[in-house]
Structures are given as C-alpha cells and as structure tokens.
C-alpha cells in the first residue's frame, strides 16, 4: 500500500479515486470519516488516496499528474446566452445551463 494523493476536500479526492479505478488501479480512501466533520482541533485532516499494489503507484501518480494538469489547460469560455464567464471544464453554463457549443 502506498499513499498517492491527499486533499482536504472529499469530493475532489473521490474524483481522483474514480480516475484511478477507470484505469484499473485498485485504491482506497483513508480519513474520510474525519473529513465530514471538517475540523479536528485547529487544523484539517487531509483525506488520503492509497493504492493497494505498490507496483501501481508510479502509474497512479502519472495519471493524477496528467489529469490535474489537463484540467488547468482548458481555457475559460463566455456564455453566448447570458455572457457569464465559465471555467473551461464546464460543458454547460453554470448560470443559465446553456451548452458551450455553437
């Protein structure tokens, strides 16, 4: 077992977990029960993603690096219906739900 990723937001960590599972990498989450409470003392406890097989760790790290860097490279777009600025990862406008397409 080897930790490959951690984040304070449980939803983001589960997105990383789903990407790994789509690539046939067995993994599991640690500390998720602490994350629902938000804080323990004065600091937050990051939720951790672990791979079951150490041999999969380098592949898992490569996949995470590619996915995280790809999400930042998509340019934002302006909705033609309402003019709202949307993150490049959105396929529909968050404000009016119009498709990003022409």
- Chain segment 74-101, per-residue pLDDT in tens: 788 999 999 999 888 788 998 999 998 7
| Six token digits for residue 91 | 């396929």
Domain ranges in the chain are: 2-75
Predicted pLDDT of residue 42: 41
pLDDT tens column, 37-80:
545 554 567 889 999 999 999 999 999 988 876 655 678 899 99
| CA atoms of 3 and 71, how far apart (whole Å) | 22
Strand-pair category, 47-51 with 2-7: antiparallel
Hey, what CATH class is 2-75 in? Answer: alpha beta
3-class secondary-structure state, position 46: coil
């Amino acid at each position: 077992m080897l930790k490959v990723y951690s984040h304070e937001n449980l939803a983001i960590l589960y997105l990383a977990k789903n990407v790994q599972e789509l690539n046939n990498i067995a993994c599991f989450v640690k500390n998720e029960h602490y994350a629902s409470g938000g804080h323990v003392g004065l600091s937050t406890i990051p939720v951790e993603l672990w791979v079951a097989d150490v041999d999969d760790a380098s592949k898992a790290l490569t996949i995470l690096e590619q996915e995280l860097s790809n999400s930042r490279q998509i340019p934002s777009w302006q909705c033609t219906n309402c003019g709202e600025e949307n993150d490049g990862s959105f396929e529909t406008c968050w404000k009016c739900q119009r498709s990003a397409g022409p």
